[in-house]
């Protein structure tokens, strides 16, 4: 049976929905509460490679940490990656990984398609 890793924020409704979805579908999963300073530059880059997205594509642009960065529109991907490590709240969630593949499970339909394809 495949095991999934869910990068999860328990305060996020969408993230809780993904955990519930996996439970109801009887999928084995592990929860990583990434807000606790889990990510290093290397580990977040690996997750990004698995979900095939760039750092700029997973930024929560309505967060105050993002809005307070004056040069945010001129940052390159490496600089955005560093900011995601420094301010993990900026990372869009939930992210679900299995092996070397994954998905940004927002909306939850993305997760359903991912599970079906794997």
Q: What is the CATH number of the domain that holds 33?
A: 3.40.30.10
Tens-binned pLDDT, residue by residue, of the chain (118 aa): 689 999 999 999 999 999 999 999 999 999 999 998 889 999 999 999 999 999 999 999 999 999 999 999 999 999 999 999 999 999 999 999 999 999 999 999 999 999 999 8
pTM of the model: 0.92
Domain region containing 12: 3-117
CA distance 17 to 9: 11
CA distance 79 to 44: 13
Task: Compute CA 22 distance to the chain's CA centroid, rounded to the nearest angstrom.
Answer: 16
E runs forming strands in the chain: 3-7, 28-32, 95-98, 101-104
Q: How many structural domains are present in the chain?
A: 1
């Amino acid at each position: 049976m495949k095991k999934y890793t869910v990068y999860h924020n328990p305060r996020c409704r969408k993230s809780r929905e993904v955990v519930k979805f996996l439970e109801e579908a009887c999928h084995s999963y592990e929860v990583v509460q990434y807000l606790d300073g889990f990510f290093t530059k290397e580990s977040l880059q690996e997750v990004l490679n698995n979900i095939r997205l760039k750092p700029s594509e997973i930024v929560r642009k309505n967060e105050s940490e993002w809005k307070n960065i004056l040069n945010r529109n001129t940052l390159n991907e490496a600089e955005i990656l560093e900011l995601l490590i420094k301010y993990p709240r900026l990372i869009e969630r939930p992210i679900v990984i299995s092996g070397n593949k994954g998905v940004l499970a927002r909306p939850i339909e993305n997760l359903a398609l991912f599970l079906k394809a794997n």
